[in-house]
């Protein structure tokens, strides 16, 4: 499917998806969400892709939120559907992808933009990044998982503060809060993400997929995370990657994982 609102580039098994609506600060309209959903589907099933990086086009913004112009006239039912569809198509999809996803936060990450970054498995921010959930200033609340994922990442008190004040925090503060994994100068953002991706790609893709499922289980209501860990741990013993990893260790050589 051709993408009107995304740029997709592959290099050394790393796929970079760039949200490309810079004149609208990469705001997430419905078309962009659908394209991202498809792009994630494609990346998830493409064995040549080992790690994804999601970023925004231009120097100013990662994603400045859901497209306010698109939902300004919505009814209660339409609002509910917007949230449910978006969560299912994009935000849950990113979080549950079978390979690591890194958000390269290159500027404003507001509302749905911060929610997208929080759905990713890791976040690296440029030092000019600004993050916030400004929804209450528009008379609405975060609807793409923000009330849940922010609370998980930074705790209830700080999540409440960010949502209540609708304010923005700078990258270094986000780092102190535990909202991002790293902060780097803007011109080193993609280099840092590539370094992280390269370190990750040395490891077994099938074990990484299991790790994502096991860690996510901690946040799934009604799921016993330790039980899920036992199941995923056991499954690893049936993979070719496990045989390769343990053989390589004993033969004192580097493992050559295939993801099988
Ligand atoms: N939805 C739709 N359009 C958006 C947008 C959004 N979330 N965020 C920015 N844009 C558009 C602006 O309307 C403007 O478009 P226009 O030139 O056609 O009028 C363009 O992007 C540039 O934004 P502008 O506001 O002129 O840039 P700025 O540097 O003055 O301010 C922000 C930057 C991020 C502070 C400001 O754009 C903003 O507050 N955006 C909304 C953030 C938000 O509330 N997000 C949560 C949505 S639920």
Q: Is residue 10 part of a domain?
A: yes
155-198 tens-digit pLDDT: 999 999 999 999 999 999 999 999 999 999 999 999 999 999 99
Q: Does the pLDDT value for residue 234 go beyond 70?
A: yes
Q: Which of 160, 183, 200 is the last residue of a domain?
A: 200
The protein residue with its alpha carbon nearest to ligand 1, atom 1, reads 67
Q: Do 93 and 219 belong together in one domain?
A: no
Full residue range of the structural domain in which residue 11 is found: 6-200
Rounded Cα–Cα distance for residues 249 and 129 (Å) = 41
Phi (first) and psi of residue 214, to 5 degrees: -70, -45
CB of 196 within 8 A of CB of 124? yes
Rounded Cα–Cα distance for residues 40 and 233 (Å) = 25
Q: Which of 200, 220, 236 is the last residue of a domain?
A: 200
Could you tell me the distance, in angstroms and rounded to a whole number, from the CA of residue 5 to the centre of ligand 1? 17
146-155 tens-digit pLDDT: 999 999 999 9
74-121 tens-digit pLDDT: 999 999 999 999 999 999 999 999 999 999 999 999 999 999 999 999
Rounded Cα–Cα distance for residues 116 and 6 (Å) = 15
pLDDT of residue 108: 98
Q: Is residue 257 part of a domain?
A: no
Is 114's C-beta closer than 6 angstroms to any atom of ligand 1? no
pLDDT of residue 60: 97
* Token output for 143: 């609807």
CB of 210 within 8 A of CB of 236? yes
Q: Do 170 and 66 belong together in one domain?
A: yes
Is 68's C-beta closer than 6 angstroms to any atom of ligand 1? yes
Determine the average pLDDT of the residues in 200-224: 96
- Count other Cβ atoms within 10 Å, centred on residue 95: 19
The protein residue with its alpha carbon nearest to ligand 1, atom 14, reads 24
Q: Do 134 and 211 belong together in one domain?
A: no
Q: Are strands 130-132 and 168-170 parallel, antiparallel or unpaired?
A: antiparallel
Q: Which of 185, 200, 215 is the last residue of a domain?
A: 200
Determine the average pLDDT of the residues in 235-245: 98
Q: Is residue 1 part of a domain?
A: no
Q: Do 85 and 187 belong together in one domain?
A: yes
Q: Do 168 and 88 belong together in one domain?
A: yes
Is 27's C-beta closer than 6 angstroms to any atom of ligand 1? yes
CB of 26 within 8 A of CB of 57? yes
Q: Is residue 82 part of a domain?
A: yes
Beta bridge partners of 184: 126
* Token output for 225: 């995370």
* Token output for 148: 């849940």
Q: Is residue 255 part of a domain?
A: no
Is 151's C-beta closer than 6 angstroms to any atom of ligand 1? no
Q: Do 102 and 189 belong together in one domain?
A: yes
Q: Does the pLDDT value for residue 24 go beyond 70?
A: yes
Nearest-CA neighbor of 213 among 238, 241, 235, 243?
235
In order of 20, 48, 156, 193, 206, the CA distances from 10 in angstroms are 16, 9, 38, 14, 20
Q: Do 21 and 107 belong together in one domain?
A: yes
pLDDT of residue 1: 61
pLDDT of residue 237: 98
Q: What is the CATH number of the domain that holds 180?
A: 3.90.226.10
Could you tell me the distance, in angstroms and rounded to a whole number, from the CA of residue 64 to the centre of ligand 1? 6
Q: Do 131 and 212 belong together in one domain?
A: no
Q: Do 108 and 72 belong together in one domain?
A: yes
**Average predicted confidence (pLDDT) for the chain:** 97
Rounded Cα–Cα distance for residues 190 and 103 (Å) = 10
Q: Is residue 259 part of a domain?
A: no
CB of 100 within 8 A of CB of 120? no
Query: In 3-state terms, what secondary structure has residue 184?
Result: strand
The protein residue with its alpha carbon nearest to ligand 1, atom 16, reads 24
Nearest-CA neighbor of 86 among 21, 31, 164?
31
Q: Do 22 and 139 belong together in one domain?
A: yes
Q: Do 114 and 163 belong together in one domain?
A: yes
Rounded Cα–Cα distance for residues 195 and 150 (Å) = 26
Total number of domains constituting the chain: 2
In order of 35, 189, 194, 199, 228, the CA distances from 209 in angstroms are 23, 25, 19, 16, 13
Q: Do 53 and 140 belong together in one domain?
A: yes
Q: Does the pLDDT value for residue 238 go beyond 70?
A: yes
Is 25's C-beta closer than 6 angstroms to any atom of ligand 1? yes
Among left, alpha and beta (phi > 0; psi -120 to 50; other), residue 111 is left
Mind telling me the catalytic residues? 115, 135
Tokens 């997430």, residue located: 28
Could you tell me the distance, in angstroms and rounded to a whole number, from the CA of residue 244 to the centre of ligand 1? 50
Side-chain-facing half-sphere of 162: CA atoms under 13 Å: 29
Q: Is residue 24 part of a domain?
A: yes
Q: Is residue 110 part of a domain?
A: yes
CB of 194 within 8 A of CB of 184? no
Determine the average pLDDT of the residues in 123-148: 98
pLDDT of residue 2: 74
């Amino acid at each position: 499917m051709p993408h009107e609102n995304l740029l997709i580039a592959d290099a050394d098994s790393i796929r970079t998806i760039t949200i490309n609506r810079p004149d609208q600060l990469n705001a997430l309209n419905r078309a962009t969400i659908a394209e991202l959903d498809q792009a994630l589907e494609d990346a998830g099933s493409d064995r040549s892709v080992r790690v994804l990086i999601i970023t925004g086009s231009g120097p100013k913004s990662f994603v400045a939120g859901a497209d306010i112009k698109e939902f300004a006239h919505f009814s209660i039912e339409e609002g509910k559907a917007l949230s449910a569809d978006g969560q299912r198509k994009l935000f849950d999809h990113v979080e549950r992808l079978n390979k690591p996803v890194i958000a390269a936060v290159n500027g404003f990450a507001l509302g749905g933009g911060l929610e997208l970054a929080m759905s990713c498995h890791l976040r690296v921010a440029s030092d000019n990044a600004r993050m916030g959930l400004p929804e209450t200033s528009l008379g609405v609340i975060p609807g793409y998982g923000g009330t849940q994922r922010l609370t998980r990442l930074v705790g209830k008190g700080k999540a409440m503060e960010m949502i209540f004040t609708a304010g923005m925090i700078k990258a270094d503060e986000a780092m102190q809060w535990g909202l991002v994994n790293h902060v780097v100068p803007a011109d080193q953002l993609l280099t840092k993400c590539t370094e992280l991706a390269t370190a990750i790609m040395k490891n077994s893709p099938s074990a990484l997929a299991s790790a994502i499922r096991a860690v996510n289980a901690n946040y799934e209501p009604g799921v016993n995370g330790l039980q899920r860990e036992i199941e995923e741990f056991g499954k690893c013993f049936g993979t070719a990657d496990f045989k390769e990893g343990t053989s390589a260790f004993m033969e004192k050589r580097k493992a050559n994982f295939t993801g099988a």
